[in-house]
Amino acid sequence: MKSLPNTQPNARKFPLVDYHYQASMLNGSSATCLQTSKSLRDITRDYFDAEANREFLSEAAVFTALIVMAIMPIVTGISAMLQLLSTLPLF
């Protein structure tokens, strides 16, 4: 909103406000765009395609290590049970 100037000496201290004020429109830019912008989906797809290739090997190694660490106690437990069963007398 654009305020109107006070020109009267005994006028109020607050300026009057023109509520019907409209700002002038900017004309179109004459600059040319280098590249049209892509959608957010295209930008994220390009980013994750490139990142997935770089990160895949390290994530696969961590996943394999976690699986091996989860399987080792199971194999050790089965081995201990088999050893216990072999020492017990069978009826």
d(CA 56, CA 70) in angstroms, rounded, equals 21
Is residue 3 a contact partner of residue 17, using CB atoms and an 8 Å limit? Answer: yes
Q: What is the pLDDT of residue 58?
A: 85
Max intra-chain CA distance, the chain: 119
d(CA 80, CA 73) in angstroms, rounded, equals 10
pLDDT truncated to tens, each residue of the chain (91 aa)? 565 565 666 666 676 777 777 777 767 666 666 666 678 888 888 877 777 767 788 888 999 999 999 999 999 999 999 999 999 887 6
**pTM for the predicted model, two decimal places:** 0.39
d(CA 14, CA 6) in angstroms, rounded, equals 9
Q: What is the pLDDT of residue 29?
A: 62
